[in-house]
Chains A and B, each alone.
Chain A
Amino acid sequence: MSLSTHNLSVGYHDKAIVKQVDLNIPAGKIIALLGPNGCGKSTLLKAMARILSPMDGQVHWQGQNLHNIASKKLAQQLALLPQTQPIPEGIKVKDLVAYGRSPYTGFWGRINKEDHEIIAQVMQETGITELAEQLVSELSGGQRQRVWLAMTLAQDTPYLLLDEPTTYMDLSHQVELMHLLRKLNLQGKTIITVLHDINQAARYCDHLIVMKQGKIITQGAPDSVLTQQLLKEVFSLDAQIHQDPIAQTPMCVVE
């Protein structure tokens, strides 16, 4: 299984935000997309999930052009958690999570026993079991983010594309989420996530992809990617790289 882009340019209203990107997503890893605001991380993610159509170039899934794959079949392979989510009115948490099973449900959206088991499991993993009967619109931002994440996980896809999944979450839930991602990764899922916290990315991800102005600057293991020079070049930050005393991963400290 593989996901790759070939000379991919994509953007909004004729303006390319991601420019001629060639990228191979290493399968079976947790990959972080890093870069300053507006560098094209979300746009790249949306193009890989086929939410945006390429202006030029292609996205390939298992050697096949993404645009030739049937919608439902693709939805069983790739799941995207968008950055900004609407607040649906009058929908209960358990119903929203159940919509994640749509790519598999039979006639007229019927949910079977296996679906119910998966729904219960992802709700437990994301810690929202107690919220099941509440309305999504009445939750806090962090709770709602976990509900959307549960819906994405219910899709049960080998590839997960997450756009800033830690948004609105307090620190303990952020850590829980990163641990959950590690667990899912061990089960064989490939996870591509946009993160803002470089230290979080370095600690929990296997592979970092750093973007600037629509191009990929560098990529690789956190040890080799994170350098003083890179932080200066990409984020215009004067920072030092130290070693995380617990995980022994690189850690940046701003000067």
Chain B
Amino acid sequence: MIPLRFSFCAQCLLLLLLLLTCSWISLFSWSVITVTPADALQALYNMDQDSIAQHIAHDLRLPRMLVGIMVGANLAAAGVIMQGLTQNPLASPSVLGINAGAALGMASVSTIAPWFGLLGSSIAAMIGGGIAWAFVMLLGSAWRGGNEHGRLVLAGVAISALCAALTKAVIIIAEDQAAGVLTWLAGSLSDARWQTFDALWPLCLVGLLGAMLIAPTLNLLQLGDDNARNLGVSLMWVKLGGSFLVLLLVGSAISSVGAIGFVGLLVPHMARMLAGQDHRKFLPIAMILGACLVVLSDTISRGIIYPAETPAGAILALIGAPFFIYLVRKRTL
């Protein structure tokens, strides 16, 4: 715990500034056709229709950046809710099998019934993630109380492995779709366009607002199930509602950009270090941090083997895996 001596508002403002800077950089950096920082700004408020550079910034980079922000905030919020519900520091969409389940649902629909479109795959991702989450909670007996930390994570690993194997089988069966599904499995924002943005923002808004609303209740869950109940929390409704929010947040994010991992695990812990244990404070911090992290990784992913693109999910895994190991070593599970 390293509580930095900044007030909560100052932290939020600083992080928002950081997010703005990252977003602005992502608009003009590493483009085959040169986009200047000034082009990037002008494309936002007064676009010159004849400038190709500004078209790139407005039609390709801007939606990509906005989707990155939403996906980052979604996954971070989902991680916070999952850690709050299970009282498990390792809980996150990727560790507890939701990512893999959503990927399986998504891959099945896009290979077997590709005519379903984006909304169809969102729903498929949510259903797949939901089934995986339910299995993990049942196997890890998480409904009975938060003490079986190791068991819950083991269940998540097992279900993830099963889903990954099934996803591979689906890809082998429908070979012609394989390349697209594989990029998507790694998690990349390269295909994010305005239509992705249009499909994502309503779900994102509802999910993030819902997350903010249950933040005070998550505070009480920290005191253990008995105390939470005693303080007037209806555990069943909170767990059901929280799970639904997680599926909404993760499902919409994953169907837009693919199975991006580690944001949900990494960011809540970073946010706690900054803002302490009050969910009303560290949840918004986590959302902004998550957005920064995804936008930044996406920018790096374009430059790392320029002009080709690396999936942003791979960059995040590079940062996230060592942190995961650090967490496992530091905590007694």
Tell me the residues in window 81-131 of chain A with beta carbons closer than 8 Å to chain B beta carbons: 82, 85-86, 88-91, 95-96, 99-100, 102-103, 105, 108-109
User: In the complex, what residues of A have CB within 8 A of residue B232's CB?
Assistant: 71-76, 102-103
Asked whether A50 is an interface residue with its Cβ less than 8 Å from the other chain, the reply is yes
User: In the complex, what residues of B have CB within 8 A of residue A85's CB?
Assistant: 224, 227
Partner of A109, one of B1, B230, B272, B280: B280
User: In the complex, what residues of A have CB within 8 A of residue B215's CB?
Assistant: 108
The answer to whether residues A90 and B276 also contact, given A51-B229, A51-B230 and a CB cut-off of 8 A, is yes
Q: Is the CB of A99 within 8 A of B230?
A: no
Tell me the residues in window 168-191 of chain A with beta carbons closer than 8 Å to chain B beta carbons: none
> With the chains together, A71 CA to B213 CA distance in Å?
18
Partner of B222, one of A46, A76, A88, A100: A88
Tell me the residues in window 139-176 of chain A with beta carbons closer than 8 Å to chain B beta carbons: 151-152, 155
Tell me the residues in window 217-238 of chain B with beta carbons closer than 8 Å to chain A beta carbons: 219-220, 222-224, 226-227, 229-234
Asked whether B277 is an interface residue with its Cβ less than 8 Å from the other chain, the reply is yes
The answer to whether residues A50 and B229 also contact, given A88-B223, A90-B272, A109-B216 and a CB cut-off of 8 A, is yes
Q: Is the CB of B220 within 8 A of A99?
A: yes
Asked whether B191 is an interface residue with its Cβ less than 8 Å from the other chain, the reply is no
Among B213, B223, B224, B230, max chain A CB count under 10 A is at B230
Asked whether A47 is an interface residue with its Cβ less than 8 Å from the other chain, the reply is no
Nearest CB in chain B: distance from A242 CB, A = 39
User: In the complex, what residues of A have CB within 8 A of residue B227's CB?
Assistant: 82, 85-86, 151
Partner of A102, one of B1, B220, B278: B220
> With the chains together, A75 CA to B216 CA distance in Å?
16
Interface range on chain B: under 10, 10 to 19, 20 to 34, or 35 or more? 20 to 34
Nearest CB in chain A: distance from B88 CB, A = 13
Q: Is the CB of A79 within 8 A of B230?
A: yes
User: In the complex, what residues of B have CB within 8 A of residue A96's CB?
Assistant: 223
Proximity bits, B266-287, A CB within 8 Å = 1, else 0: 0000001000111010000000
User: In the complex, what residues of A have CB within 8 A of residue B276's CB?
Assistant: 90
Nearest CB in chain B: distance from A51 CB, A = 5
Nearest CB in chain A: distance from B284 CB, A = 12
Tell me the residues in window 200-222 of chain B with beta carbons closer than 8 Å to chain A beta carbons: 213, 215-216, 219-220, 222
> With the chains together, A5 CA to B226 CA distance in Å?
20
Asked whether A216 is an interface residue with its Cβ less than 8 Å from the other chain, the reply is no
Proximity bits, B96-113, A CB within 8 Å = 1, else 0: 000000000000000000
Q: Is the CB of B224 within 8 A of A86?
A: yes
Nearest CB in chain B: distance from A192 CB, A = 14
User: In the complex, what residues of B have CB within 8 A of residue A155's CB?
Assistant: 230-231
Q: Is the CB of B230 within 8 A of A89?
A: no
Partner of A99, one of B223, B226, B234, B272: B223
> With the chains together, A172 CA to B1 CA distance in Å?
34
Asked whether A49 is an interface residue with its Cβ less than 8 Å from the other chain, the reply is yes
The answer to whether residues A80 and B280 also contact, given A85-B224, A88-B222, A99-B223 and a CB cut-off of 8 A, is no
> With the chains together, A141 CA to B273 CA distance in Å?
26
Q: Is the CB of A91 within 8 A of B277?
A: yes
Closest residue on chain A to residue B212 by CB atoms: A108
> With the chains together, A99 CA to B234 CA distance in Å?
15
User: In the complex, what residues of B have CB within 8 A of residue A86's CB?
Assistant: 223-224, 227
The answer to whether residues A49 and B278 also contact, given A86-B224, A99-B220, A102-B220 and a CB cut-off of 8 A, is no
User: In the complex, what residues of A have CB within 8 A of residue B280's CB?
Assistant: 108-109
> With the chains together, A58 CA to B276 CA distance in Å?
42
Q: Is the CB of B224 within 8 A of A49?
A: no
Q: Is the CB of A71 within 8 A of B234?
A: yes
> With the chains together, A91 CA to B282 CA distance in Å?
13
> With the chains together, A151 CA to B138 CA distance in Å?
33
> With the chains together, A103 CA to B217 CA distance in Å?
11
Q: Is the CB of B231 within 8 A of A51?
A: no
Partner of A80, one of B1, B226, B272: B226
User: In the complex, what residues of B have CB within 8 A of residue A71's CB?
Assistant: 229, 232-234
Q: Is the CB of A80 within 8 A of B222?
A: no
Q: Is the CB of A108 within 8 A of B216?
A: yes
Nearest CB in chain B: distance from A67 CB, A = 12
> With the chains together, A118 CA to B222 CA distance in Å?
22
Q: Is the CB of B219 within 8 A of A99?
A: yes
> With the chains together, A194 CA to B251 CA distance in Å?
48
Among B215, B219, B220, B276, max chain A CB count under 10 A is at B219
User: In the complex, what residues of A have CB within 8 A of residue B277's CB?
Assistant: 88-91
Nearest CB in chain B: distance from A71 CB, A = 4
Tell me the residues in window 313-333 of chain B with beta carbons closer than 8 Å to chain A beta carbons: none
Nearest CB in chain A: distance from B148 CB, A = 14
Closest residue on chain B to residue A82 by CB atoms: B226
Closest residue on chain B to residue A87 by CB atoms: B224
User: In the complex, what residues of B have CB within 8 A of residue A90's CB?
Assistant: 1, 272, 276-277
Closest 5 pairs between A and B when the two form their complex, measured CB to CB: A75-B232, A109-B216, A72-B232, A90-B277, A103-B232
What would 13 more interface pairs be, CB under 8 Å, given A103-B231, A155-B230?
A49-B230, A51-B226, A72-B232, A76-B232, A79-B230, A86-B223, A88-B222, A90-B1, A90-B276, A91-B277, A96-B223, A102-B216, A108-B280
Task: Name 8 interchain pairs, CB-CB below 8 A, sorted by A.
Answer: A51-B226, A79-B230, A90-B1, A90-B272, A99-B231, A102-B231, A103-B231, A152-B230
B interface with A by C-beta (< 8 Å) = 1, 213, 215-216, 219-220, 222-224, 226-227, 229-234, 272, 276-278, 280
